[in-house]
Chains A and B, each alone.
Chain A
């Protein structure tokens, strides 16, 4: 019967129910989005290494080096000499060393020079090599050819056969210098859901010797992406190359360095989470106010129910249950808000970094978030429920004669 009472009360106060549930839905959607994007961003970014264990670059910040070489964000901390590349390439602890050079863009899409070995030798995920569509190919050394990441190709509308002239610099300036070289797209990479998808890849020497670039730096590299033969070698190289105070930075392990980024912006997560919880508390407060304000109007109905034999605990439970039901409705609708909001945020992150989040993938917050909201609503329902519990039956249903 108590379910019947709850259902009928919700139906009777449909407008208030919907408005209150909507406020909870917004709060729940916000909290779920903040939480899922936070946890998944940290996990995905920390796991994103494009198949490499470490990065070697010019002396500077490890985080900047990783963001630049792996995530294709940020400016390069500087160049390293060809002999440094040769040194690391021939190091016995190094399995693969892939040089990259950058300095150009096309309408903001970063152009990175590298070697064909990146596509032929490297697994960007265990068991997965880079691939192009049937009939397409990777670029060849010495030719003005390009391979385009899937996301960049999609946004630029490029396909095999498209030609382009690179712009100088990492940031796009329509009035800036456009190089004379005309490159032809020979392949579009299959999606990798990594930052590689946002990059236009050309032969290494293409960047090094691009018209207008400093000829004195024609052999320099922006960074070297490294696969190690064994993890222990990373610690050894870390000590060897960083502790010596030389001109190089060895960024290892990549995941830990990315985690530093999230430590630095952790305060923002905390602020967003705090805001979400404040909204949640306010939403549960709205349940309290909504039901409490209707209690005067409901007192007569409650007294009638009591006169018909309903016990105090029944009407108390019905009011608390009503609050819980509003919380459940709001939390359920909150998933819809979350789905829309999180997919939008995920698309922004993909556009900015190439990293693909899967916000709808199972996350523990999917159960404890709504459960907490329902719990808060139940707390909000206790005050009006106590008022219902105390309704004086005889005085309320009829004046004493």
Chain B
């Protein structure tokens, strides 16, 4: 059984000024095996962030099913989805989304705080693993963008996730940092056994994946959308 299995997933947003609704995500089927690493190609505006947010349980689907790790996510209430995300999903954002008022170590600890609880030794070991063992007490604004994304990677793995979602994780990095960050994400996911679902529009990133799907082709909501 796949780790993640999606069927007929639909998400709509209300248009401004009560002008009806807009279908943003309409995915018939999607599956990801445990421990697999899959890239989704998607340009801006194709609904891929919404797709990831639906998988993470940050957003609720309008219809369809998301079966993750043996549980049906779409029938869960918000608090249960929060618990599920806290315990089993890591999320890496394009803009890193680090808490600027907190140290590097605290940021990683927040990644585990709402799931299994804080394990400082493990947080430190993760930061050692991403090469920031000497930056534990630094604040994000004291780090380079490449280093900040490494903190985000460490944080995404802090809760021992079964699935890591990465939304354009190299989008804000220069070429060298992007290459290093991507390699790091793939390595640490492989080491921890977490599946990786990465979305990107960067062909250089996509080319490194053995498994890749085109989200635009997968998302039927784009079929009738204006160019």
* Chain A residues packing against B (C-beta within 8 Å): 1, 4, 8, 12, 300-301, 304-314, 393-394, 397-401
Contact = CB atoms under 8 A, between A and B. Distances in A.
Contacts of A394: 49-50, 53, 58-59
B137 to A, nearest CB: 13
A398 B83 CA distance: 21
B139 to A, nearest CB: 10
B138 to A, nearest CB: 15
B78 A401 contact: no
Contact of A8 (B91, B102, B155): B102
Most chain A beta carbons < 10 A, residue from B47, B78, B99, B159? B99
16 contacts: A1-B114, A307-B56, A307-B58, A307-B91, A307-B97, A308-B110, A308-B111, A309-B159, A311-B78, A312-B78, A394-B59, A398-B95, A398-B167, A400-B24, A401-B42, A401-B49
A309 B156 CA distance: 11
A311 B167 CA distance: 22
Interface of B: 13, 24, 42, 44-50, 53, 56, 58-59, 78-79, 82-83, 85-87, 91, 93-95, 97-102, 106, 110-111, 113-115, 117-118, 155, 159, 167
Nearest to B86: A309
Given A8-B102, A308-B113, A309-B82, 16 more contacts: A1-B114, A4-B113, A301-B99, A304-B110, A308-B86, A308-B111, A308-B155, A309-B87, A309-B159, A311-B82, A313-B79, A394-B59, A397-B93, A398-B93, A398-B95, A401-B50
Contacts of A310: 82, 86, 113-114
B199 to A, nearest CB: 8
Contacts of A301: 99-101
A309 to B, nearest CB: 2
Most chain B beta carbons < 10 A, residue from A4, A309, A398, A400? A309
Contacts of A400: 13, 24, 47, 49-50
Overall SS of chain A's interface: helix
Contacts of B48: 401
Contacts of A1: 113-114, 117-118
Contacts of B95: 397-398
A305 B85 CA distance: 11
Most chain B beta carbons < 10 A, residue from A4, A307, A310, A314? A307
A1 to B, nearest CB: 5
A120 B117 CA distance: 75
Nearest to B90: A308
A12 B139 CA distance: 12
Contacts of A314: 114
B102 A12 contact: yes
Nearest to A301: B99
A309 B115 contact: yes
A309 B118 contact: no
Contacts of B117: 1
Given A1-B118, A8-B106, A401-B44, A311 B79 contact: yes
A29 B47 CA distance: 57
B102 A401 contact: no
A309 B78 contact: no
A393 B60 CA distance: 12
A228 B5 CA distance: 97
A233 to B, nearest CB: 75
A12 B46 CA distance: 37
Most chain A beta carbons < 10 A, residue from B42, B46, B49, B94? B49
Most chain B beta carbons < 10 A, residue from A304, A308, A393, A397? A308
A70 B151 CA distance: 77
A17 to B, nearest CB: 13
Nearest to A305: B110
